[in-house]
Amino acid sequence: MKRVLYALLFAFPAFTTYAQLTSCTQTLRLARSTYEQGRLHEIPALLSRCLEGGFSQQEQVEAYKLLCLSYIYLEEPQKADEAMLNLLRTDHYFEISPSTDPAEFVALYRTFRTTPIYRLGAKLGANASQPNVVSYVPANEGASKYSAGIGFQGGVMVEVPLTKKFTLDTELNFILRNFKYENKSTYTEIATGDPRNFAITGKENQAWATLPVMVQYRFLESKFNPYIGLGASAEYMLSSTNKYARTKEQASSLDEQSISLDPYRNKLNASALVSLGAKLKVTGGFAFMEVRASYGLTNLNDTEDIYTLYAKTLPTGGYVDGIFKMNSLSVTLGYVYNRFHPKKLNK
């Protein structure tokens, strides 16, 4: 007997909810029929209870649409505006059908802001970075080579739609970059006069915080919404280290050494950006993939830094920089979520 009572106790709320949902579904059918019969003044009272709780989201959207239409034809514009605003708050992605919806309803819809005001998102990806050498010093001219290294990056972003095709994109990114360095030269052994090969190799690892600002242009309306972007980035180098080693023919080699390059690198830098990407609509936002090229505009070091660094490393090999800017190519994946704030637009 107790089990039966417990079962009834737990079943009652579920039954009540089901009954309420069934009742509100029937109410919506009745409201639809009442509207078609032209008894518009009965619609608000008929829908009020279920609009407070009882409709599914789809039913609630239809109910607000019926309510809005009723107020339009009853010539109560303020209440029609309120019903339209509630509709758009319930379903941010509601779309009109100009071919089937009444012209008055379409006209009212177009007096409201229905697009997202901004998007919030995050992104992760990888990059390939390589110095763009502006000039060498005599100690390494013609003998130094730089090769790209693979790093990783991630960040957060805010997008602001400016028009249907243009979007402003601002970001805060954390980027790890690296590249390899090799300098080969030949020297003459003092004792024998024989030529000897000498090589310095190194790998520089950099950590950056960047603030890019870009304008995206969607050049084709399709499922994947392809776009191009142009912009610039303010960049701050958080740290830079170098691990280098020396090999010397017929002589002892130097084991790998590590040195901080923070004193020899300019912290604040700037880059020009160009991107190509695509966005796919997923639930309440967009999943995207983007390829971005970053072209360094400022030098990461100067001549004084080069010779100071060379003098510091000379006893253990003599690492010699060139004066360079930093270029990189990145591929990122991410997601941005639409944020809406429907409102009546000013005339």
Q: Are 98 and 146 within one domain? A: no
Clarify whether residues 66 and 189 are in a common domain: no
pLDDT of residue 304: 84
Tell me which of 82, 114, 146 is where a domain ends: 114
Between CA 162 and CA 117 the distance in angstroms is 9
| Average pLDDT over every residue of 51-55 | 88
Question: What CA–CA distance (Å, rounded) separates 321 from 144?
Answer: 9
- pLDDT reported for residue 15: 37
Chosen domain end from 87, 114, 141: 114
Comparing 259 with 339, the larger pLDDT belongs to 339
> What's the pLDDT score for residue 6?
46
Q: Three-state SS for 53?
A: coil
- Provide the percentage of residues in the chain whose pLDDT is more than 70: 86
- Pick the last residue of a domain from 114, 130, 159: 114
Name the token pair of 296.
């360094």
Cα angle vertex 260, ends 265, 127, to 5°? Answer: 65
pLDDT for 259: 87
pLDDT of 85 strictly over 80? yes
230 plus 86 within the same structural domain: no
Alpha-carbon distance of 233 to 294, in angstroms, equals: 9
Q: Is the pLDDT of residue 139 over 90?
A: no
126 and 235 in a single domain? The answer is yes
* Position 18 pLDDT exceeds 60: no
Which residues have CB under 8 Å from 112's CB, separation 6+? 84, 85, 88, 342, 343, 344, 345
Cα 76 from Cα 182, distance rounded (Å)? 79
Are the C-beta atoms of residues 39 and 70 closer than 8 Å to each other? no
- On average, the pLDDT of the chain sits at 88
Token pair of 318, please? 């003599």
Q: Strands (DSSP E) along the chain, which ranges?
A: 112-113, 118-135, 144-161, 166-188, 195-218, 226-248, 254-260, 268-282, 285-296, 323-339, 343-344
Range name among 45-59, 63-77, 242-256 with the lowest pLDDT average: 242-256
pLDDT band at 55 (very low <50, low <70, confident <90, very high): very high
> Residue 198: its pLDDT value, please?
76
Same domain for 228 and 88? no
State pLDDT tens for residues 140-179.
655 778 999 999 999 999 999 999 999 999 999 999 999 9
| The two three-digit tokens of residue 266, written as one number | 């300019």
The answer on 317 and 205 residing in a single domain is: yes
Q: For residue 305, give both structure tokens.
A: 């830094």
| Residue carrying structure tokens 């510091």 | 312
Mean pLDDT of 312-331: 83
Residues 85, 147, single domain; the answer is no
Together in a domain, 38 and 102: yes
Q: Which of 20-24, 59-63, 70-74, 142-146 has the lowest mean pLDDT?
A: 20-24
Q: Which parts of 24-109 are beta strand (E)?
A: none
CA 30 – CA 47 distance, rounded (Å) = 10
Contact 245/255 with Cβ under 8 angstroms?
A: yes
CATH number reported for the structural domain that contains residue 160 in this entry: 2.40.160.20
Give the pLDDT of residue 251.
60
Shared-domain flag, residues 95 and 110: yes
3-state SS track over 293-306: EEEECCCCCCHHHH
CB 157 within 8 A of CB 170: yes
Distance CA 202, CA 179 (A): 9
What integer pLDDT is reported at residue 82 of this predicted model? 96
- β-partners of residue 147 are 180
Mean pLDDT, residues 109-131 taken together: 96
**pLDDT value for 254:** 63
Tell me the per-residue pLDDT of 185-202, one tens digit each, with 9 for 90 and over: 776 666 666 777 778 888
Task: Specify the CATH number for the domain of residue 35.
Answer: 1.25.40
Interhelix angle for 57-73 vs 43-51, to 10°? Answer: 150
Question: Do 51 and 154 belong together in one domain?
Answer: no
Structural domain boundaries enclosing 314 = 118-343
Confidence category of residue 12, pLDDT binned at 50, 70, 90: very low
Is the domain of 11 the same as that of 134? no
Lowest model confidence (mean pLDDT) among 197-206, 282-291, 333-342 = 197-206
Per-residue confidence band for 317, with pLDDT thresholds at 50, 70 and 90? low
Tell me what the mean pLDDT of segment 73-89 comes to. 96
Give the amino acid at 219.
F
Provide the residue count of the chain.
Answer: 347
- Number of folded domains in the chain? 2
Contact by Cβ (8 Å): 73, 41: no
Taking the C-alpha atoms of residue 76 and residue 71, their distance in angstroms, rounded to an integer, is: 5
Rounded distance between C-alpha atoms, residue 33 and residue 211, angstroms: 57
Residue 318's nearest CA partner among 144, 180, 146 is 144
130 plus 240 within the same structural domain: yes
Name the one residue in this structure whose structure tokens are 């709780």.
Answer: 53
For the chain, the 3-state helix, strand and coil shares in percent, each to the nearest 5, are 30, 45, 25
In the predicted structure, residue 340 carries a pLDDT above the cut 90: yes
Query: Is pLDDT of 310 > 80?
Result: no
